[in-house]
């Protein structure tokens, strides 16, 4: 089956705050991925607790092929060394696609603020041989995306690509404008501490294809 690709790039924009969702909708839209006793619905917020025995997490019940996913996260305050707050999208199975955005705690308790600023761009360069995650449906938090049936019976070309009623089935692609490019450059110049494209010790067989396309 040929899958659609309306995203020209994956653009990572994180809004730090709190995980918010209407309480009445939580059970309909989400489920605990582990430690449900550590998850408490508090009105329009979801409180996730971490103790010496376990953390916790929740995920969307539905899976999506493409679209927009977002979350507002409040990170662990104070001395948070050794903790990880993560927002990720993942498909199922042993050969799965996964996009992880992990916030590592620190001793000093310095705030992590990147509200509405792009921190990563992954252009779609499939025509040049670069793998792109667009063939497996993923689960996430707040979703504005093409929902597929659990058994994979839906044809995304028919369901999501020809109706004309959603933003993702218009002949417009998501890409980084000039202002976003300047913001992204500022982030990289001031805060980037590791770039796998420059890690020749790890990737001894040569520069990765996506790195050559920058």
Residues assigned a catalytic role = 98, 102
CB neighbours of residue 84 within 10 Å: 14
Residue with tokens 């001793």: 107
Distances (CA, A) of 179 to 69, 83, 95, 167, 185: 21, 33, 36, 22, 10
> 3-state class of 70 per DSSP?
strand
Closest CA to 60 of 95, 35, 28: 28
**137, 154 Cβ separation under 8 angstroms:** no
Report the C-alpha gap between 165 and 77 in whole angstroms.
Answer: 42
Report the C-alpha gap between 29 and 42 in whole angstroms.
Answer: 16
Closest CA to 57 of 113, 140, 137: 140
């Amino acid at each position: 089956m040929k899958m659609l690709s309306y995203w020209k790039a994956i653009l990572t924009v994180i809004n730090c705050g709190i995980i918010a969702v209407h309480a009445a909708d939580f059970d309909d839209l989400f489920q605990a991925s582990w430690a449900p006793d550590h998850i408490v619905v508090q009105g329009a917020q979801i409180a996730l607790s971490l103790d010496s025995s376990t953390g916790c997490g929740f995920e969307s019940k539905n899976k999506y092929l493409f679209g927009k996913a977002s979350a507002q996260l409040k990170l662990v305050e104070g001395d948070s060394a050794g903790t990880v707050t993560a927002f990720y999208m993942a498909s199922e199975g042993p050969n799965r696609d996964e996009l992880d955005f992990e916030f590592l705690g620190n001793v000093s308790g310095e705030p992590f603020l990147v509200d509405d600023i792009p921190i990563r761009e992954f252009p779609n360069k499939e025509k040049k041989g670069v793998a792109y995650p667009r063939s497996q449906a993923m689960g996430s938090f707040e979703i504005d995306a093409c929902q597929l049936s659990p058994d994979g019976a839906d044809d995304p070309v028919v369901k999501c690509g020809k109706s004309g009623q959603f933003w993702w089935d218009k002949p417009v692609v998501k890409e980084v404008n000039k202002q976003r490019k300047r913001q992204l450059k500022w982030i990289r110049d001031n805060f980037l501490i590791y770039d796998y494209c420059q890690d020749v010790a790890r990737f001894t067989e040569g520069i990765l294809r996506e790195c050559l396309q920058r």
